[in-house]
Structure 1
């Protein structure tokens, strides 16, 4: 565009010279050539004036230190500060961001991304997964594993497990979900008793007196004891209203209540939790859990197509379908995005504008000039072209007016 604008200026100069030379040589064409000369002369003036104005923005015209030229290089710091204030005042304020975010359908974009067969644009997916893989491989596995273990350990130690266990047990009791467990425990007790009859017989034999052993009554006593225990277990298993089963239910209900409301029980559960977390086997299991998760993430990142078409892809697709069918969830997602963007503007608006200002201040004058000229230079060359043509038309009109008068 600079070549076009300069070429047009040279063309006007050539036309002016040609008309000036031909005008006295051919009196018959002199009136017409006068209009041509006036157009070309005024076009040169307009083109040169606009060339000076455009050039003065970025540098000294012809290298001459003319006052009020090279405006951008001389004022780059002020331009950076003004641009930063403009961004902060008109863009990075919560009210503007919130108003803009009301027109942004984040939920709709998420639905379109999640419900596509390929989970969105392949370049976005591949780029994101490649970045995730590079980050995972670049970080030290030992340090990262230690950080993950420490984070998991901290969260678990902060967990007040007793009320959660009490609520879970209370919910199970309310819906009789504990009954299969009790029935299974009774069956296991019956099998264990039958498998260990010899232990009971040996215990009765050792603790019976010599008269009982001599008369063989210890064997009879052991048989009665084993039969009574087996019959008791069978009765409890067969009768939902058995008193012993009621006592078990009451004991579980008391345990659920203590877990939720008894501070002493809460402290005992906390001690048990800490002892479990301090166990080397548990710590090794947490380490292994992190390594398995890291390996799975790396496999998914290295093969995003397989991840998208596998279980993860199915889960994401189901999420997109659920989001499509739930307008309330869409509104909640959009509201969350709007609040997040507004909070980001409120919290980080000032650091962002300082970053803009400091970055422009750190650039040298040539860098600022080059980048601004690359951004708007093409349009500025149109100003030179328009100035040349408009100047020529003004000169033509003035010449016509002078001839008419």
Structure 2
């Protein structure tokens, strides 16, 4: 009996060996919270230790009850033999059946976690020996009953994520929180990205897109619309004003240039007179063009631009020349450097906007989140769309990666140490299992009493 008690009531650091002999004192480890954790084992938290102490108390109670009914059986048997009366037989029968029930349930409970009395009885120590099979079965059970597309879809539909998310986002404090988190994530992402990589990608994308698409027709349509709307006139006005001012400031340079191009045999005063005359005509022409919106030269500019816009769209030679010019411009190092440097400017601008709580980026993001939340909270169609998107995404994940998810369970269970897995599980459910032993003792005693009573009544 003492050997059995040692087997069913291990101490905090006592582990039964193959022969049922404890490897340490049953009470020596009572004050220690945890020992070294072996590979594949579990660290025992204070809560786990409290549960294990509760299991030990229940084991002691169940074993004491077994010892008690054994003593009752011995005394009742002695009393019956001594002629104490018929009551002794009833008590002895109840105590005997109680012992049988207690021993049977002790064997059943103990067989879950270890071999009773260390004996190699078949189908015992179920959890340590069948740990891997239990992990596979658990993984299959989870996959079939929790990771099926229909189960996930029905569960998400009952939750109503779209409505709840909308109501949550409609709260200003929650919108502020999401905005702050998005800003942090954006800054983190931009910090992680290397400028050289992004610049290379942006430059290559712009260059490839520009090479793949002909620009002349688009430029022609844009120029045609600008001329039709009169948008070019301000440019013409600016050119005329600048030309007039330049001529006024550089009159000597103009007259010298004209005189320098005259034949050598002409007198110098004639060259000077010709230069002055040319300069005055240029000034008159530019002044009239500047001051007269209906000047014939302006009309000629309009006709030239319209013709050029038409040629950009329909003239093959013009379009080919524009394409060659485009390739030459894109191939220049200065243009590539400009494209690459654009990313640095954009990143700096975005990071600054993300860090500033009053920036237009964050204010617009917050307003958009509040608006989206209010719409989702009250718009059933939008809620249905959001729920459908989330359901579809969740179903895709669980159906596509079901094997990977269940293998996480099976592989994790397989990596556990068998002995410590058994101890961990026993710490969590062992207390309830000890009630089975207590109930088995009580129910066995009542059943034995009933059987003995019936047999006495039937036997006269």
Same-fold call, TM > 0.5?
yes
Aligned counterpart in structure 2 of residue 286 of structure 1, from 334, 339, 343: 343
* Residue number among 103, 112, 123 corresponding to 2:167 in the alignment: 112
Change (3 A) 1:78 1:393: same
Question: Hey, what does 2:287 align to over in structure 1?
Answer: 227
User: Where does residue 64 of structure 2 map in the other structure?
Assistant: 10
Q: Is the 8 A contact 1:13 1:41 kept in 2?
A: no
What TM-score, normalized by structure 1, do the two folds share? 0.69
CA displacement 1:269-304 (0-9 Å, x = unmatched) = 57755658963354344245446656776x59xx9x
Unaligned residue ranges in structure 2 (runs of 5+): 1-53, 263-268
The structural deviation recorded for 1:339 is: 2.3
The aligned residue for residue 387 of structure 2 is 334
Alignment RMSD? 5.1
Aligned: 1:344 with 2:403: no
Confirm or deny that 1:195 pairs with 2:245. Answer: yes
Pair 1:201–1:272, CA change in 2 (3 A): same
Question: How many angstroms does 1:4 deviate by?
Answer: 3.0
DSSP-derived class of the 1:69 partner: coil
Distance across 2 between alignment mates of 1:341 and 1:83: 21
Q: CA deviation at 1:337?
A: 1.9
Instruction: Encode CA deviations 1:302-341: one digit per residue, 9 max, x unaligned.
Output: x9xx9xx966544433332343354444333222222222
> Are 2:129 and 1:74 aligned?
yes
Using the TM superposition, give the Cα deviation of residue 69 of structure 1 relative to its aligned residue in structure 2, in angstroms: 0.9
Question: Which of 59, 62, 66 in structure 1 is aligned with 2:117?
Answer: 62
Partner SS state of residue 279, structure 1:
helix
Asked if the contact 2:147–2:402 (Cα under 8 Å) also holds between the matched residues in 1, the reply is yes
Q: Rg larger in 1 or in 2? A: 2
Shift of 1:60: 1.5
Partners of 1:112 and 1:153 lie apart in 2 by 43
Q: 8 Å contact 1:115–1:320 — kept in the other structure? A: yes
Write the deviation string for residues 198-236 of structure 1: whole angstroms up to 9, x where unpaired. 36856763337675742643243123211232145x349
Matched, 1:214 2:273: yes
Within 5 Å, give how 1:6-405 maps onto structure 2. Answer: 6-11=60-65, 13-14=67-68, 17-18=71-72, 21=75, 24=79, 31=87, 38-119=93-174, 136=188, 144-157=194-207, 159=209, 162=213, 179=229, 181-182=231-232, 184-198=234-248, 205=255, 206-207=257-258, 211=270, 213-214=272-273, 216-231=276-291, 234-235=293-294, 248=305, 272=329, 275=332, 279-287=336-344, 289-290=346-347, 293=350, 312-374=365-427, 376-405=429-458
Residues 344, 224 of structure 1: alpha-carbon distance in 2 compared, 3 angstrom cutoff: same
In 1, the alpha carbon distance for the partners of 2:214 and 2:430 equals 69
Aligned residues: 385
Partner Cα separation in structure 2 for residue 249 and residue 235 of structure 1: 17
Displacement of 1:145 in angstroms is: 4.0
Aligned-partner Cα distance in 2 for 1:188–1:274: 31
SS in structure 2 at match of 1:320: helix
The alpha carbon displacement at 1:68 in A equals: 1.5
